Chain A
Amino acid sequence: MRKKKTHILGWILLLGSTITICSFLFIIIFHLFSQGLPVLSWEFLFGHPKEGLTKGGIFPAIIGTILLTLITTVFAVPFGICCAIYLNEYAGESRLTGIIRASIRNLSGIPSIIYGLFGLALFVQSMRLGTSLLSAGLTLGLLSLPYIITTTEEALKRVPNSTREAALAIGSTQFESIRDFVIPQAMPGIITGIVLTIARVAGETAPILFTGVAFYITGVPGSVKQEFMALPYHLYMLSTQHQSIETVRPLAYGTVTVLILIILMMNMVAFYIRQKFRENE
């Protein structure tokens, strides 16, 4: 009898928790999409904000987010991949690599708002880049470095040692073996990591608050030295800072729907690459 009760209690605890977590995701997606999808239209996606942001579209914010993630990628990907190559291919296990690995783990644990402060102090002020697309992109680049390094290193680890040995045996230098054999084999894993990192960066708000994002700009930024609009900040502003919050609520729903759709699409791309790669193995 007592045993039966613990059985029931156990199932309630375990299944109840699992269902609760699943329902979180379901409620988020269902609620936001049911309110946001009807807002989406040609004009909303490709139009500019009008009449004090109460009407019109979010085109500059979409472009801003795309340009921002591009700058982040251009800066962080080569840097991150080189660092991962050093750790996995050259360094071996030493005291120094232990320290480097520990510092990478700690970098990934630093709150994103502190990256924002660092970007403000380094790029905006010390390097005199001002509040601009470039400052914000570089700040997000620093933030995404630990993720790129970790995912790239994991992809390199999955390349069997026989590949390296075979390349060296036919007379390649170590660099040639990495460039021509190891990296191409690890490519799907590296790209998956990059896509996931970009998806994460696209939704970040705190690091760009003081490094270059703007409430509203006319048109799209023509140079990397200009301020820009971005989807996550646009959502924050529409839902808390606008003077008539209730009037712009539908626009906020539309913005959050576009943001989540973009991020989920990138996650699916990453998932697809990973699946395809597994099949080939």
Chain B
Amino acid sequence: MSTRFRENTDLFFSKLFKVTGLLTLVLLGGIFFMLLYNSVSFFLDVAPLDFFTGNQWNPGSRGDYGILPLIASTILVTLGSMLIAVPLGIFTAAYMSEFANRRVQRILKPVIEMLAAIPSVAIGFLGIVIIGPGIAKLFGMQNGLNALNGSILLAIMSLPTIVTVAEDAIHAVPMSYKEASLGLGADKWETLFRVTLPAALPGLIAAVMLGLGRAIGETMTVLMATGNSLAFPDGYLDSIRTITATIAIEMGEVPYQTTHYYALFAIATVLFIITLAVNLIGEAIAKYYRKFGA
């Protein structure tokens, strides 16, 4: 092979690799543009004020496009899931990082990885066959497809993320902090709760934000296990319908290029912005932590 040919090949591939790198930017831009373009088409038909302040989502017969019940449902179910997953996840991470010996760690890590590998549709199925009937029995209801069910399932879905990131954060707290605490006469529990966990706080917040981002965007579990009622939710025993579930249910049925079709892109844009904000906040905190934290 001539040197010239080899040099040209080299040049060609360096350009090709660069193009693929730039294409990821195009992909993110394309998704954003697609959402924006269709949302604009929606807002030509429906006033933004009605969309953001309406408390009725009933596109079919009445043409009500109020996003508030969907947002309330999404917040309700993800808040519930975080109330369950955050303490469980952080305490487990603390145990894995600070107390478990190597043998126990070698069992726990694959357990967390396996939990992360279970597909969301299987978790949703679990909500129908185990958690739903359980809730129905406990509260004497007809069925257990409600926000509480969704919260429990989303907690299971977000736990692997929270445990993994939180464990890294706790592990990264310098030994000298703990040694200083122990040297002052604190026992290992006081060291954990008053020194190690507070020092790892920014990383723990990042873990929670990443878990939260995952829970907000989850579709199949909430679609299968929360009942999908359109009424404005009052509490955890109410059936709810999140933004993701609404898109999944209605996109299959609407004719293309109608107001209803565009409306689903508009609520997807809201979802996109929420998850983007959550991820960016988590990332910013993690970055700050690397710079100034432990």
Most buried by B among A3, A79, A256: A256
Q: Please tell me if the beta carbons of B117 and A121 are within 8 angstroms of each other in the complex.
A: no
Smallest CB–CB gap between A216 and chain B, Å?
15
Which applies to chain A's interface (DSSP): helix, strand, loop or mixed? helix
Chain B interface helix/strand/loop/mixed = helix
List 9 tightest A-B contacts by C-beta distance, closest first: A203-B119, A111-B217, A17-B91, A86-B17, A173-B10, A86-B21, A206-B219, A82-B20, A14-B95
B residues in contact with A24, CB < 8 Å: 115, 156, 159
The reply to whether the CB of B75 lies closer than 8 angstroms to some CB of chain A is: no
Contacts A100-B22, A109-B213 known; A21 to B112 CB distance under 8 Å?
yes
Bound state CA distance, A175 and B1, in angstroms? 15
Contacts of A113 on B, CB cut-off 8 Å? 217, 219, 244, 247-248, 268, 271
Could you jot down 5 A-B contacts, CB within 8 Å? A17-B95, A103-B27, A111-B216, A117-B247, A117-B268
Q: Are A112 and B219 in contact (CB under 8 A)?
A: yes
Known: A7-B189, A117-B34, A118-B31. A86 touches B18 (CB 8 A): yes
**Which of chain A's residues 141-156 have a Cβ closer than 8 Å to chain B?**
142, 145-146, 149
How many A residues, CB 8 Å from partner?
82
Complex Cα–Cα for A203 and B92 (A): 26
Contact string against B for A residues 218-254, beta-carbon threshold 8 Å, 1 for contact and 0 otherwise = 0000000000000011011001100000000100100
Q: Which residues of A contact B (CB under 8 A)?
A: 3, 6-7, 10, 13-18, 20-22, 24-25, 27-28, 31-32, 79, 82-83, 85-87, 89-91, 97, 99-100, 103-107, 109-118, 120-122, 125, 142, 145-146, 149, 173-176, 199-200, 202-206, 209-210, 232-233, 235-236, 239-240, 249, 252, 256, 259-260, 263-264, 267, 271
| Known contacts A21-B115, A105-B283, A111-B271: A6-B27 contact under CB 8 Å | no
- Binary flags per residue of B75-106, CB closer than 8 Å to A gives 1, else 0: 00000000000011101101110011000000
| Set of chain B residues within 8 Å of A260, measured between Cβ atoms | 118-119, 122
| B43 interfacial by beta-carbon distance below 8 Å | no
How far does the alpha carbon of A7 sit from the alpha carbon of B191 in the complex, in Å? 12
Point out the residues of chain B lying under 8 angstroms from A256, CB to CB: 121-122, 125
Beyond contacts A79-B20, A110-B217: 9 other A-B pairs, Cβ-Cβ < 8 A, are: A14-B99, A21-B88, A24-B115, A100-B22, A106-B279, A113-B268, A175-B9, A175-B14, A206-B120
Interface pair B28/A145, CB less than 8 Å apart: no
A128 to chain B, nearest CB (A): 12
Name, among A87, A90, A111, the residue most crowded by chain B CB atoms within 10 Å (CB to CB).
A111
- Residues of chain A contacted by B110 (CB below 8 angstroms): 271
What is the chain B residue whose CB lies nearest that of A108?
Answer: B279
**Contact yes or no, B10 A239, CB < 8 A:** no
Q: Is A173 within 8 A of B6, CB to CB? A: yes
Residues of B within 8 A of A87 (CB): 21
Contacting pair A103 B251 (CB below 8 A) = no
Q: Could you say which of A18, A252, A267 contacts B117, with CB atoms under 8 Å apart?
A: A267
Chain B interface residue count, CB cutoff 8 Å, equals: 85
Contact: A25 with B111, CB < 8 Å? Answer: yes
Q: A100, B21: Cβ atoms under 8 Å?
A: yes
The answer on a CB contact under 8 Å between A25 and B115 is yes
Give CA–CA (A112, B248) in the complex, Å.
11
Cβ–Cβ < 8 Å partners of A175 in chain B: 9-10, 13-14
Q: What are the residues of chain A within 8 A of B6 when measuring CB–CB?
A: 173, 176
Contact between A18 and B96, CB atoms less than 8 A apart: yes
User: Which residues of the partner chain B approach A15 to less than 8 Å between Cβ atoms?
Assistant: 95
Assess whether B9 is in contact with A239, with CB atoms less than 8 Å apart.
no
A residues less than 8 Å from B283 (CB atoms) = 105
Minimum Cβ distance to chain A for residue B279 (Å): 4
Contacts A21-B163, A239-B128, A240-B224; is A83 near B122 (CB within 8 Å)? no
B180 at the interface (CB under 8 A from A): no
Which of chain A's residues have a CB closer than 8 A to the CB of B49? Answer: none
Q: Which residues of A contact B231 (CB under 8 A)?
A: none
**A110 surroundings in chain B (CB, below 8 A):** 31, 217, 272, 275-276
Given the complex of chains A and B, what is the CA–CA distance between A110 and B95 in angstroms?
31
Q: In this complex, what residue of A is CB-closest to B26?
A: A103
Q: Shortest CB–CB separation between residue A19 and chain B, in angstroms?
A: 9
* Bound: A260/B117 CA distance, A: 9
Render B16-45 as a binary contact track against A, CB cut-off 8 A, 1 for contact: 111011111101101100110010000000
Which residues of chain A come closer than 8 Å to B244, judged between CB atoms? 111, 113, 206
Q: Is the beta-carbon distance between A125 and B189 smaller than 8 angstroms?
A: no
Nearest neighbor of A124 in chain B, beta-carbon distance: B256
Complex: chain A residue closest to B279, CB-CB = A109
B190:A104 contact, CB within 8 angstroms = no
B195 interface residue per 8 A CB criterion:
no
In-complex Cβ contact of B119 among A107, A145, A205, A210 (8 A): A205
Whether the Cβ atoms of B115 and A3 lie closer than 8 Å is no
**A100: B residues at CB distance < 8 A:** 21-22, 24-25
**CB-defined contacts of A115 to chain B, threshold 8 Å:** 31
> A111 touching B275 by the CB < 8 A rule?
yes
Residue B203 at the chain A interface, CB threshold 8 Å:
no
Q: Could you tell me if A79 and B121 are in contact, using CB atoms closer than 8 angstroms?
A: no
